[in-house]
Amino acid sequence: MWAGKKKHIAIFEQNLSNYQNSSLTDDNNTLSNDAIHKATAVIDQKTYHFDLDSKKSILDYALAQNVPIPFSCKNGICGKCKMLCVSGHTFTSNSKAISAEEQKNGYLLSCQTFTDIQDIKIKSIS
Ligand code: FES
C-alpha cells in the first residue's frame, strides 16, 4: 500500500526558551531565568496577588498559590481559563480557544500564557 509513496512525518515542538531568555536581563545585563514578576488577578470581584516567572503558565503559578482561576483542560482547548489582561504584557503559546481578535483585545488563556518582563494585572470575564 505504501510502495512508491513518500511518507511525511512532522514533529512540532513548542520552544519558549529562546523567547524567555531573550527578554530577561538583570542589572548586569546578563541573562536570567529567575526574574520574579508580580501578578494581580481580580476574580469574582476579589483581588489576589501572586508571584510569577517565565517558567510556568500563569494558571500553574496561580493554582500553586491558591488563586482560584477556573480551569478544565489546561491545554488551551476548553477556554475555561480565559481572562482579560488589564495591564502588562504576556505571551500566549497556544490559543485555540480564543480568536486572534480576542487576543488583540487583551484576552488570554491563563493555562497557555506566560509573562515576559513586566508585572501584570488580569481579571476574570465571568
Ligand atoms: S484550562 Fe482549558 S483552555 Fe485553559
Nearest CA to ligand 1 atom 3: 76
Residues 111, 57: contact at Cβ < 8 Å? Answer: yes
What pLDDT is recorded for position 117? 64
Residuewise pLDDT in 10s, the chain (126 residues) = 445 555 444 333 333 333 333 333 334 333 344 568 889 999 999 999 999 887 899 999 999 999 999 999 999 999 999 999 999 888 888 778 999 999 999 999 999 998 776 788 999 886
pTM value is: 0.71
pLDDT at 41: 94
Q: Are 49 and 121 in contact (CB under 8 A)?
A: no
In whole angstroms, what is the distance from residue 98 CA to residue 100 CA? 7
Domain spans in the chain, listed from the N-terminal domain onward: 37-124
- Atom number, ligand 1, closest to the C-alpha of residue 109: 4
Q: Who contacts 16 (Cβ-Cβ below 8 Å, separation ≥6)?
A: 54, 91, 93, 114
For the domain spanning 37-124, the CATH number is 3.10.20.30
- Helix ranges (H only) for 24-71 are 58-64
Residue type, 101: E
- At 20 the pLDDT is 38
- Nearest-atom number in ligand 1 for the CA of 70 is 1
How would you classify the pairing of strands 82-87 and 107-109? Answer: antiparallel
